[in-house]
């Protein structure tokens, strides 16, 4: 496959523009750590929201989602609950507000705000830094796998080579080049560069997504799709046992479904809901999503930023995802079948782009997809060094370091993390395996301690440390042990075991050590104002300040979370229904979107003016 000179020129111009933006903003970003990592808390919330949406539109995730839609049809709308995708709803409704009230720079610094500066606070602070670094390395590896495979489909030069004794394929070399460009502009511009380029990237991607949706709508009708798919493909309602038999249309897909481990779909959905509640209530992991929350100017703007993200993201994104899936379903079967036993379903997206997107628009779309990758990658490598520089070096090694030195060390730590992530990414097996490990095993170790930190006053720093440590160790060891007895089991079914280990470690660590200092707890509770089991602390605060108003919004927040999940799901289903020719269902999804939007306006948005 090859590109025209017009498309290549568009992609190159985009890459040059992003580098220019990074260097142009470098002076503003290098003033101090707050400017470098948080944009000086001066960036408007809607820019941060667009940036956040762009950061969630990565190539690897898009390739994975197109593949899911191609194979599972309307039921694929449920599978991203593995992350879970609706964690953004929890953040928008209440967690962003609680987090932004801390006035901290990083998640590790927030932990000190929660647990204080004692031994427990220091240990919990350290374990968050470790988790942040591990998760960033995992995501970098995930990005390497996706961007290399994608780029090698379009850029046909053979760049395979040997570096330091490693034999690198063209896919891997393309990944290295794109990652190097992204790293340079991110290092120079910091959060200013990340947000500025991501707003540009989001606009490019939105135009490209709408264009792909129009192409698919005009090229494929419901009759063609119905003839190309098995019974049940057009039905979004989950079955207990997945009833998709591809034997007549595409026999290899039955093997793919069995390999994914999604056959017991009802059990999978129950597990995703179970995991999703804990993972969402735990709050954002210490990465780019948290960094944007902490970058906002006020708590209400943090909530608005988090709410804008799904509103602008899902409809255009799924116009493109569903568009490519239906185009591939109807027109790409011969090319897919020609792959034989080496069929790679993650190539559905690049093959569809190559065949169906015209010259000029193809260059814009590729620039947009590269932008999406670069934006997400840039966000991670901007967030992670804050933990090494601000939370380790500045806190424990050199508290009096100059701003210039701290920013310079941020450059160095970014490079080190990228190199380590690249090493692991070069040996990754597939996007699916990386996705399932990150979403199920690694975050299984994160959830327990981070739920308890919000809702239970007695939970202390040592409990947090042991809970996180137990979860991290379990996320590495438990999957291998379980597979000895249950070969082929997917990671989400292992999640409850890892969660249980982490909960047990959290409880034991908490009950065997003394509570945190009451002054620390009162400051946290009064400033953050969470709901939960805080009675002793609440009573102490009210004794000192009878005018203090405790948080009584649990029922309203729970209601808004449920409505928000339905709201988000309607934005996923609407474009899929539209492009599969199910116009009655499209209308129903549109009505649900309208009704839930009105409800959230009254029960969520209108109340934000009272929270700052």
Residue 379 to residue 424: CA distance in whole angstroms? 19
Element (H, E) at 166: strand 166-168
Pairwise pLDDT comparison (291 vs 428), residue with the higher score = 291
pLDDT above 90 for 357: no
pLDDT above 70 covers what percent of the chain? Answer: 83
Place of tokens 């954002």: 284
Element (H, E) at 162: strand 161-163
Q: Region 497-502: what's the mean pLDDT?
A: 89
List 166's β-bridge partners, or say none: 163
Which of 217-231, 245-259, 309-323, 521-535 has the least mean pLDDT?
245-259
Count, in order, helices (H) and strands (E) of the chain. Answer: 27, 2
Residue 223 to residue 513: CA distance in whole angstroms? 66
pLDDT at 29: 47
pLDDT at 28: 55
Provide φ and ψ at 531, rounded to 5°.
-95, 170
pLDDT at 90: 96
- Find the DSSP H helices in 25-118: 26-29, 33-38, 45-55, 59-72, 87-90, 96-100, 107-115
In the structure encoding, which two tokens stand for residue 442, read together?
A: 């690694």
Which of 176-185, 509-518, 519-528 has the least mean pLDDT?
176-185
Instruction: Reduce the secondary structure of 239-261 to three states and give it as a string.
Output: CCCCCCCCCCCCCHHHHHHHHHC
Which of 161-175, 385-399, 560-574, 596-610 has the least mean pLDDT?
161-175
Task: Please tell me the pTM assigned to this model.
Answer: 0.85
Q: What is the DSSP string of 176-204?
A: HHHHHHHHHHHHHHHHHHHHHHHHHHHHH
Q: Where are the beta strands (DSSP E) in 323-380?
A: none
Q: Do 275 and 444 meet the contact criterion of CB atoms below 8 Å apart?
A: yes
Domains, the chain, ordered by start: 5-111+128-428 (1.20.1730.10)
How is residue 238 annotated by DSSP? P
Provide φ and ψ at 134, rounded to 5°.
-65, -45
pLDDT above 70 for 450: yes
Residue 18 to residue 20: CA distance in whole angstroms? 5
pLDDT above 70 for 432: no
pLDDT above 90 covers what percent of the chain? Answer: 34
- Buried-exposed string 404-420: b where 16+ CB fall within 10 A, e elsewhere: eebbebbbebbeebbee
pLDDT above 70 for 234: yes
Which of 365, 59, 356 lies closest to 205 in space, CA to CA?
365
pLDDT range class, residue 391, cuts 50, 70, 90: confident
Instruction: Reduce the secondary structure of 508-570 to three states and give it as a string.
Output: HHHHCCCCCCHHHHHHHHHHHCCCCECHHHHHHHHHHCCCCCCCCCHHHHHHHHHHHHHHHHH
**Is residue 399 classed as helix, strand or coil in its secondary structure?**
coil
Which of 95-109, 156-170, 458-472, 561-575 has the least mean pLDDT?
156-170
Residue 163 to residue 432: CA distance in whole angstroms? 27
Q: Do 457 and 521 meet the contact criterion of CB atoms below 8 Å apart?
A: yes
pLDDT averaged over the chain?
83
Element (H, E) at 353: helix 348-356
In the structure encoding, which two tokens stand for residue 131, read together?
A: 């988790």
How is residue 233 annotated by DSSP? T
Residue 141 to residue 172: CA distance in whole angstroms? 11
In the structure encoding, which two tokens stand for residue 250, read together?
A: 């595409």
Residue 347 to residue 160: CA distance in whole angstroms? 20
pLDDT at 276: 87
**CA torsion angle 190 192 195 198 (round to 10):** -70
Residue 483 to residue 468: CA distance in whole angstroms? 23
Which of 363, 99, 82, 329 lies closest to 219 in space, CA to CA?
329
Residue 252 to residue 295: CA distance in whole angstroms? 47
In the structure encoding, which two tokens stand for residue 366, read together?
A: 């590729």
**Is residue 456 classed as helix, strand or coil in its secondary structure?**
strand
Q: Do 68 and 324 meet the contact criterion of CB atoms below 8 Å apart?
A: no
């Amino acid at each position: 496959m090859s590109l025209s000179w017009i498309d290549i020129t568009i992609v190159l111009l985009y890459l040059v523009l992003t580098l220019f933006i990074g260097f142009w903003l470098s002076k503003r970003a290098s003033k101090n750590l707050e400017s470098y990592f948080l944009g000086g808390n001066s960036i408007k919330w809607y820019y941060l929201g667009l940036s956040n949406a762009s950061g969630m539109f990565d190539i690897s995730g898009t390739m994975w989602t197109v593949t899911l839609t191609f194979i599972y049809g309307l039921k694929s709308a449920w599978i991203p609950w593995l992350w879970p995708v609706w964690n953004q709803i929890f953040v928008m409704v209440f967690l962003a507000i609680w987090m932004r009230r801390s006035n901290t720079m990083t998640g590790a610094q927030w932990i000190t705000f929660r647990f204080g500066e004692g031994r427990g606070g220091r240990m919990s602070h350290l374990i968050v830094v470790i988790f942040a670094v591990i998760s960033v390395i995992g995501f970098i590896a995930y990005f390497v796998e996706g961007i290399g495979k994608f780029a090698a489909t379009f850029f046909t030069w053979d760049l395979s080579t040997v570096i330091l004794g490693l034999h690198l394929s063209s896919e891997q070399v393309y990944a290295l080049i794109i990652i190097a460009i992204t790293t340079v502009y991110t290092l120079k511009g910091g959060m200013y560069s990340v947000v500025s380029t991501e707003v540009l990237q989001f606009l490019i991607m939105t135009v490209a997504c709408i264009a792909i949706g129009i192409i698919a709508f005009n090229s494929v009708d419901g009759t063609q799709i119905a003839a190309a798919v098995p019974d049940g493909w057009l039905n979004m309602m989950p079955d207990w046992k997945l009833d998709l038999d591809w034997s007549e249309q595409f026999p290899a897909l039955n093997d793919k479904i069995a390999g994914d481990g999604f056959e017991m779909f009802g059990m999978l959905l129950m597990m995703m809901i179970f995991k999703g509640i804990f993972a969402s209530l735990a709050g954002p992991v210490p990465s780019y999503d948290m960094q944007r929350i902490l970058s906002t100017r006020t708590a209400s703007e943090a909530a608005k930023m988090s709410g804008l993200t799904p509103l602008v993201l899902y409809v255009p994104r799924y116009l493109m995802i569903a568009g490519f899936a239906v185009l591939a379903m109807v027109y790409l079967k011969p090319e897919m079948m020609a792959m034989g036993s080496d069929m790679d379903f993650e190539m559905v997206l690049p093959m569809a782009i190559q065949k169906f997107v015209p010259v000029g628009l193809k260059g814009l779309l590729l620039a947009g997809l590269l932008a999406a990758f670069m934006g997400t990658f840039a966000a991670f490598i901007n967030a992670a060094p804050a933990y090494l520089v601000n939370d380790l070096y500045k806190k424990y090694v050199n508290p009096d370091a100059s701003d210039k030195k701290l920013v310079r060390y941020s450059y160095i730590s970014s490079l080190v993390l990228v190199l380590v992530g690249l090493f692991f990414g070069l040996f990754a097996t597939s996007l699916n395996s990386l996705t399932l490990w990150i979403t199920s095993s690694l975050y299984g170790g994160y959830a327990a301690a981070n739920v308890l930190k919000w809702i239970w006053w007695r939970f202390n720093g040592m409990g947090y440390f042991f809970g996180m440590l137990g979860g991290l160790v379990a996320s590495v060891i438990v999957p291998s042990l379980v597979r000895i007895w249950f070969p082929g089991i997917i990671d989400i079914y292992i999640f409850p075991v890892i969660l249980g280990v982490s909960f047990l470690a959290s409880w034991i660590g908490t009950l065997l050590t003394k509570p945190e200092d009451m002054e620390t707890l009162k400051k946290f509770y009064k400033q953050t104002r969470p709901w939960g089991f805080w009675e002793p602390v609440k009573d102490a605060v009210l004794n000192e300040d009878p005018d203090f108003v405790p948080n009584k919004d649990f029922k309203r927040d729970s209601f808004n979370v449920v409505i928000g999940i339905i709201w988000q799901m309607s934005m996923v289903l609407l474009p899929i229904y539209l492009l599969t020719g199910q116009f009655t269902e499209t209308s129903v999804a549109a009505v649900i979107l309208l009704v839930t939007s009105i409800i959230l306006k009254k029960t969520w948005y209108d109340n934000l003016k009272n929270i700052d």
